[in-house]
Amino acid sequence: MDFELLQLFVDICDLGSFSKAAARHIVSQSAVSQRVAQLERRLGQSLFDRKARPLMPTPAGRIVYDSARQLLAIHAQMQAHLEDLQPMLSGPVRLGCIFSLALGPLRQMLRQFLRDAASVDLHVTHGETYELAQDVLNGLIDLALVAYGEKSEGIQIEDVGKEPMILIAPLATNDVPATPVPASWMNHRHLVTFPHHSPTRRAIDEAFAKVGVTPNTVLEVANPVVLVEAVAAGRGSALMPFSSAVSALEAGEILYVPCPELEFERPICLMLHRRRPRTRAVRALADFLGQQMSTLQGAWKGSLEKVALVRR
């Protein structure tokens, strides 16, 4: 049984494109076409309607797709059971992570995991929460570390911690009132923030709406590093995850604005497939991330207290 070919076929169906599947498998589009033609000759059936856009499986292709997914799941389960017999933790693990966590706390956590699990082949990808949820469902990654899990029938969400959301402003801001700062200070003030489709952005909008404040959004960027740089450059203020802002705060490049009415905690979650078998290495990484997030919360609290003291 050629499981690599079955996985390629499933990916073509999920992505609706030979070229996108080729990019995912790091092969040429010509190689993908040849392998599909090989499978069609073996089965004696045309598997794709090549005139449809996006590419669609034929009735025969749909049967092969459903069967291939079942076979791949059985194969993954067999591999998971075999790996459990190995004395040393090993095997591939595919982790997805949102940008704001990948660019901060994840780097510290993975450094320790890679030292402790030297035989694990770890692959890390970055993306938006909704993209990572689809990758979990389609079997492209084993688990994802996100803020606000994307709820779905096929996804299991495990809460692993909470991260403070704080208000930051440019250093040149000269009208910050005495602490605590009222939420009304942000009314019609320039705001740099995440895009509308981000779950963290939706929570930020809800925080402003709850206190009846309407800031003037001037920049929307998914990358938190760019947002912090925009604040440092004087483009506006931001309601940001603490881990994304702490380095610039400690370096004195931006200003912390204590505003209890707007501050909140966003949940940090792991997303895993509800039914797909999990290898020993995947389970170990999930447990490790949960433990590390618990430790990290204490560190965030201590750092935030130091930053608040500097502000006072």
CB burial string 37-63: b at 16+ within 10 A, e below: eebbeeeeeebbeeeeeebebbeebee
Q: What is the pLDDT of residue 299?
A: 77
Q: Where are the domains of the chain?
A: 3-84, 91-160+267-301, 161-266
| Contact in structure between 278 and 142 (CB atoms under 8 Å) | yes
| Contact in structure between 282 and 142 (CB atoms under 8 Å) | yes
**58 three-class SS:** coil
Q: How far is CA 27 from the centre of its chain?
A: 25
Overall fold of domain 161-266: D-Maltodextrin-Binding Protein; domain 2 (3.40.190)
Examine domains 3-84 and 91-160+267-301 and report if their fold is the same.
no
Q: Select 3-84's CATH number: 3.40.50.1000, 3.30.160.20, 1.10.10.10, 1.10.1740.110.
A: 1.10.10.10
Query: Which position has the token pair 């949102």?
Result: 98
Q: Select 91-160+267-301's CATH number: 3.40.190.10, 1.10.260.40, 3.30.1490.190, 3.40.630.30.
A: 3.40.190.10
| Contact in structure between 139 and 303 (CB atoms under 8 Å) | no
Does the predicted TM-score (pTM) go above 0.75? no
pLDDT string in tens for the chain (312-residue length): 688 899 899 989 988 899 888 887 878 899 899 999 999 999 999 999 988 888 999 999 999 999 998 898 888 778 777 766 766 677 889 999 998 888 777 777 788 888 888 888 889 988 889 889 988 888 889 999 999 988 888 899 999 999 999 999 999 998 888 888 999 999 999 999 999 989 999 999 999 999 999 999 999 998 899 999 999 999 999 999 998 998 899 899 999 999 999 999 999 999 998 877 788 889 889 999 988 888 887 777 777 777 776 655
Give the contacts of 102 (CB within 8 A, at least 6 positions apart).
Answer: 124, 126
